[in-house]
A and B are shown apart, each in its own frame.
Chain A
Amino acid sequence: MVTNDVNLDKMNNSHNAKAKVYWKKNIRMVLSLLAVWFFVSFGMGILFVDVLDNFRLFGFKLGFWMAQQGSIFCFVILIFVYVYRMNKLDHQYDMDEDEDNFGPDDICPPGK
């Protein structure tokens, strides 16, 4: 493989450009997940709790349930969704730590 200064420079630039796109996508994902986070807790559990209390979920009033249990379930799911999507994004943009150790403990399989 022939490498000279020009090639190295190009590689560096393309790496930087890639890192920029990667960061942008990361921010967009985090913001969308935080919007859900805000909606299930501050929205359904606090601001609209009385409205939702008009509906029932088995023995619960819906607003009460969101405030005391439902939002917590959503939080757990949110983090696992983040982990899955973030690992995938790392891989797409070749930003993951060490591809060599891609083992069975990884949340996302290599490729799509």
Chain B
Amino acid sequence: MDIQTLTFIFVGATFALYIAIAIWSRAGNTDDFYVAGGGVSPLANGMATAADWMSAASFISMAGIISFVGRDGSVYLMGWTGGYVLLALLLAPYLRKFGKYTVPDFVGDRYYSNVARIVAVVCVLFVSFTYVAGQMRGVGIVFSRFLEVDIATGVLIGMTIVFFYAVLGGMKGITYTQVAQYCVLIFAFLVPAIFISMLMTGNPIPQIGFGSTLADGSNVYLLDKLDQLSVDLGFGAYTEGNKSTIDIFFITAALMVGTAGLPHVIVRFFTVPKVRDARISAGYALLFIALLYTAAPAVASFARVNLIKTVDNAEYKKTPSWFKNWENTNLIAWVDKNQDGKIQYFAGKAFSGKPKFLEMRGPEGERKVKNTPTGNSNELYIDRDIMVLANPEIAGLPNWVIALVAAGGLAAALSTAAGLLLVISTSVSHDLLKKIFLKDITDRQELFFARVSAALAIAIAGYFGIYPPGFVAEVVAFAFGLAAASFFPVIVMGIFSKRMNKEGAISGMITGLFFTASYIIYFKFINPSANSAENWWLGISPEGIGTLGMLFNFIVSNLVSRITSPPPKEIRELVDEIRIPKGVGASHHHIKS
């Protein structure tokens, strides 16, 4: 069977499964809709958290980025896993004991202030919308490449599916679809990884194949070979870094702390029955995430070797079909600078900017671009996002594996999108309406508003997916930086300091937000040409500035809380209560009343 038919079958089957789960797990009340009734088993929650967390960025983009930047890619590997240690040790068990629905709930109650609650809601909405637009875009890319529909249709199909299970099932529907989506996505990521590891190193475990010798009989280690290939083409050794140590340090820290502060991840720990379950499900979650995250750097290095071997000095006419397919989706471009009909691949850009294709073909049949070629001898443009999706084709794996990867990419994007949409709808219906503006609505009315806001959020996310604002890629740094600089310090101090009061928390959040946002806005929007290491403050890039914002938040909030009045007695008792696991059953019943 051809790839397209197989992809239709795989994607269709997984979508049917998601819809079936949605119908089976309809939400009956707000408790179901917000926290799946608080009755999810820790193992299921671990899988759901893993799928919730691993987005199109983890599945589609990360290995591709690592493939091109080598060791510097470790910021993502460590940053997006290390945060779970913070989450497990500092946040998850205590927030579970607190036993409410949302992050703004905690901030509002612990700091006895609706101002704090609203600041938190604004951060939640900003972080979540930024993130969800990227997911919808990922859905569109997979559809357009593998099912040859246009991106808008792809996004619409994705929206319909998410609408079904997020609006009907709320957190309950999302949780059980995420469990299914985790299984699909991990299978889809590991199967090609295992195949390629066997082909290249003879070792079926990619994590080990990564450090083994090549199977071509040369007895050379894969990474040594890759270093040599990279140096020959002028890229610099794969296993050595280019970024400064201080920047790597700050970016990793911002991603870690940002991960621990992301609201859609935090709320997952509200869904388990007990404090003990919250702890262990953080462990399961990281274990499930690590399965993909330890395979990703292996996939990145395999893909890099394969890519260089396939394209370097190859005749364009004889390139495999994947090369032309991706060229047709605008993600690969070739300019034959020396007109020898062969692809020369070196370090440096073939032309400036993204390719702008003309409606005409060159002498070899390649698509012509409008961009002016640069003076160097590199002739090839490759979008990093295609590496994972194209990898099975580059390695010549069977068609069903390629179809599987498409289904996996969709599972990763849809599961994260659903988690984010739920957080958005909850902050509107619960934190804004129920807690502030429409205090006397009934549970049924609140559930209705939750569904309406989920539907609205899906429509907005879909719009951004079809007409992506140019700034989507730029604002990803925002999402992590803001989560790191705003939520993380406020929640940690809410648990670990009894002296922290509302004045401290609010001024800390505002300082962290303001500092981080202005640094990023300056370098990304106001003066992008200055965005290089020599202009950065202390050599910290906008991606890493959230770490500094977080430190300022800690300092300011502590100073302010020392000179203002301590929190009232009942808040100090609340903190005492959160700190011990005993009595969680009671606190959970309390939220139903």
User: Within 8 Å CB of A65, what residues of B?
Assistant: 211
B85 at the interface (CB under 8 A from A): yes
Contact A76 B74 (CB under 8 A): no
Q: Within residues 74 to 99 of chain B, which ones have a CB less than 8 A from any CB in chain A?
A: 74, 77-78, 81-82, 84-85, 88-90, 93
Q: Which residues of A contact B290 (CB under 8 A)?
A: 72-73, 75-76
Docked-complex contact A69 and B239, CB < 8 angstroms: no
Residues of the B chain whose Cβ atoms lie less than 8 Å from the Cβ of A73: 290, 294
Residues B211 and A58 in contact, CB atoms below 8 Å apart: yes
A11 on interface, CB distance cutoff 8 Å: no
Known: A41-B252, A67-B78, A71-B82. A79 touches B222 (CB 8 A): no
Main secondary structure of the interface of A (DSSP, over half): helix
What are the residues of chain A within 8 A of B189 when measuring CB–CB? none
Chain A residues with CB below 8 A from B84, complex form: 75, 79
Question: Does A68 lie at the interface of the complex (its beta carbon under 8 Å from any beta carbon of B)?
Answer: yes
Count of interface residues, chain B, beta-carbon cutoff 8 Å: 54
B89 — nearest CB in chain A belongs to which residue? A30
With A47-B249, A82-B89, A83-B280 given, is the CB distance from A59 to B580 under 8 Å?
no
Interface check B293, CB cutoff 8 A: yes
| Option from B71, B212, B221, B582 in Cβ contact (under 8 Å) with A97 | B582
B88 lies within 8 A of A72 (CB) = no
Q: Does A55 contact B (CB under 8 A)?
A: no
| Cβ contact within 8 Å between B585 and A97 | yes
Write out the residue numbers on chain B whose beta carbons fall within 8 Å of the beta carbon of A98.
Answer: 274, 585
Q: Mark B566-593, 1 if CB is under 8 A from A, else 0.
A: 0000000000100111111100000000
CA distance A53 to B221 in the complex (A): 15
Are the C-beta atoms of A19 and B580 separated by less than 8 Å?
A: yes
Q: State whether the Cβ of B248 lies closer than 8 Å to any Cβ in chain A.
A: yes
Contacts A42-B249, A65-B211, A97-B583 given; does A75 touch B85 at CB 8 Å:
yes
Q: What per-residue 1/0 map shows which CB atoms of A87-99 lie under 8 Å from chain B?
A: 1001000111110
**Of all chain B residues, which has the CB nearest A107?**
B280
A60 touches B286 (CB 8 A): no
Confirm or deny: A17 has a beta carbon within 8 angstroms of a beta carbon on chain B: no
| B258 cross-chain contacts in A, Cβ below 8 A | none
With A79-B286, A83-B283 known as contacts, the answer to whether A46 contacts B252 (CB < 8 A) is yes
A71 to B280 CA separation, bound complex (whole angstroms)? 20
* Listed residue (A30, A82, A97) with the most chain B CB atoms within 10 angstroms of its CB: A97
- For chains A and B in complex, what number of residue pairs have CB atoms within 8 angstroms? 138
Within the complex, what minimum Cβ distance (angstroms) separates A105 from chain B? 8
Docked-complex contact A79 and B85, CB < 8 angstroms = yes
B301: nearest chain-A partner, CB-CB: A68
Measured CB to CB, the nearest residue on chain B to A42 is B249
When distances are taken between beta carbons in the complex, the residues of chain A under 8 Å from B82 are 37, 41, 71, 75
* Residues of chain B lying within 8 A (CB to CB) of residue A26: 579
CB of B253 within 8 Å of the partner chain: yes
Cα A73 to Cα B208 in complex, Å, equals: 13
CB-CB contacts below 8 Å: A32-48 with B: 33-34, 37, 41-42, 45-47
Q: How far, in Å, is A2 (CB) from chain B's closest CB?
A: 25
Task: Say which residue of A46, A75, A96 sits within 8 Å of B81 (CB atoms).
Answer: A75
A71 to B290, CA, bound (A): 10
In angstroms, Cα B81 to Cα A76, docked, is: 9
> B89's contact among A33, A49, A60, by CB below 8 Å, is which?
A33
Q: How far is the CA of A59 from the CA of B384 in the complex (A)?
A: 26
Q: Closest chain A residue to B66 by CB distance?
A: A68
B275 lies within 8 A of chain A by Cβ = yes
- Residues of chain B contacted by A46 (CB below 8 angstroms): 74, 78, 245, 248-249, 252
- 16 A-B residue pairs with CB within 8 Å: A19-B580, A23-B579, A30-B89, A42-B252, A59-B212, A61-B223, A64-B239, A65-B211, A69-B297, A71-B78, A79-B283, A82-B279, A86-B93, A90-B581, A95-B582, A97-B585
Name the 8 nearest CB pairs between A and B, nearest first: A59-B221, A67-B74, A59-B211, A79-B283, A68-B297, A64-B239, A60-B211, A58-B211
